[in-house]
Chains A and B, each alone.
Chain A
Amino acid sequence: MTQTSPVQTYGAFSDPIPASEEYLTLNFSPNSAPRKQRWGNYGLSADFLGDYFAAFFPGDAVPHSKINQRDTVKAAVSYIANELLENAVKYNEDSSRLPISISLHLYEQQIIFHVTNYTNQTLAAKYQQFIQEVLSADLDAYYMQQLEKTAMGNGGSSLGILTMMNDYAARFGWKFQSLEKPINTARVDVLAYLDI
C-alpha cells in the first residue's frame, strides 16, 4: 500500500504524537459480519478503555462536582472513545479491508485519543467541509444551531463531534491522506485531546 499526497491537516494535529509512558491500542479487523452484530463490541471497547485509564487516577474530589476524578475520567473516556469509534465505523469504507484502530495516550494532565479509519473520497470531502465549518464558527452558537437542525430532523451525525468539543472541551486535529491503493480511498486520522 503506497500513500500519496495530498495530505491535509486541520486543527491541532500533533505529528508525531508525543511519547507517553502509558498507551493502549485496539485494532478492529475488517469484518464481513453485519454491522448490527459488531455494534455492541464498540461500546464494550469504549467502556473497557474508560475503566483501563480510570485506574491510573485516584478517587480525589473534583471541584464543583459530585463525581470524583476517577469516575470522571472513566465516563469521559468512555463517551469520547464511543463517539470516535461510532464515527469511524459509520464512515468506514468496509470494502477497503483495512482495520479501524483506536489508541489512547496518557499524559500527566491530558489524554490523547487517536482513531484511524479508511473512507471513500466523497465522504472524506464532506467531512473536511464540516471540519472547516466548525473550525471557523463560534462553537457554542454552531452547536446550538446544529442541535436545533438535528431536532427538526435535518441534521447529519455531526452532533457527536460537537458534543465532545462543546460539552467535554475536547480539542481536535485531523489528517486526511489519499491512498494510491485501494483507489478512491482516504485514510483519516483523528486526534482528540482531553484535559484531565
Chain B
Amino acid sequence: MEIKTDDYRIWHDPDSATVYMQGLLRLDGMEKYQSIMDVLLSVVDQLPSLTIDLRELEFLNSSGISMLSMFVVKVRDRGDVNLIFKGSDKVLWQTKSLKNLQRLMPSLVLQYE
C-alpha cells in the first residue's frame, strides 16, 4: 500500500508493522488527507501494534496535524493498540507539535532519533 507524489510518499511495511511518511505534506484542508487517513486506518485495523515513522517527514501543516490527532483519538478509543510515533529531533515541527498528540493518548510512545 503506497501513496506517492512529487512532494511526499506514504507506505506500509508489513514486516515491521510500520507506516512510513516522508517528504512535505501541506494539503488543502483536513478532507484532502482522507486517503492518507484511510491507509492508516486500514493498516491499524489488522494489528495490535503499529509504528508510524515520521523521521523524514520534513513538513506537516496544521491540517495534517489535525489528521494525525484524529487518527490518534480513533486508536485511543479502540483501546487495544500499541501506537508508536518515531520522530526526529532534527525536524522542528516534530519537536514542537508531536508532544501534543501524546497528550491526547498518554500511552502513545514517542521515540526521537
Contact among B28, B91, B97, B104 with A167 in the assembled complex (CB-CB below 8 Å): B97
Contact bitstring A72-99, B, C-beta under 8 A = 1, else 0: 1001101100110010001000000000
- Answer whether A147 and B69 are a contact pair too, CB < 8 Å, given A65-B95, A159-B62: yes
Cα distance, A39 to B72, chains bound together (Å):
27
A90 CB contacts on chain B under 8 angstroms: 29
Report Cα–Cα, A79/B96, bound state, in Å.
11
Contact residues, B26-82 vs A (CB, 8 A)? 26, 28-30, 59, 61-63, 65-66, 69-70, 72-73
Question: Given the complex of chains A and B, what is the CA–CA distance between A83 and B26 in angstroms?
Answer: 9
Whether the Cβ atoms of A67 and B66 lie closer than 8 Å is no
Do residues A67 and B95 form an inter-chain contact, with CB atoms below 8 A?
yes
B51: min CB distance to chain A, Å: 20
Which residues of B have CB within 8 Å of A168?
Answer: 96
The answer to whether residues A150 and B69 also contact, given A76-B92, A163-B62 and a CB cut-off of 8 A, is yes
Main SS of chain A's interface residues? helix
* Interface majority SS (helix, strand, loop, mixed), chain B: helix
Chain A: residues with Cβ within 8 Å of the partner, total of 33
Chain B residues closer than 8 Å to A71, beta-carbon distance: 92
| A75, B92: Cβ atoms closer than 8 Å | yes
Query: Which one, B63, B97, B104, contacts A157 given CB within 8 A?
Result: B63
Q: Mark A51-82, 1 if CB is under 8 A from B, else 0.
A: 00000000000000111000110011011001
CA distance A153 to B93 in the complex (A): 23
Docked CA distance A159–B63 (Å): 8
B2 on the interface (CB 8 Å rule)? no
Q: Are B61 and A157 in contact (CB under 8 A)?
A: no
Q: Does B89 touch A at the CB level, under 8 Å?
A: yes
With A144-B103, A160-B62 as contacts: A43 and B92 at CB distance below 8 Å: no
Q: List 18 A-B contacts (CB under 8 A).
A: A67-B89, A71-B92, A79-B61, A82-B26, A83-B62, A144-B100, A144-B103, A147-B66, A148-B69, A150-B66, A151-B69, A151-B73, A153-B70, A157-B30, A157-B66, A163-B96, A166-B100, A167-B96
Using CB atoms and an 8 Å cutoff, list the residues of chain B in contact with chain A.
24, 26, 28-30, 59, 61-63, 65-66, 69-70, 72-73, 89-93, 95-97, 100, 103-104
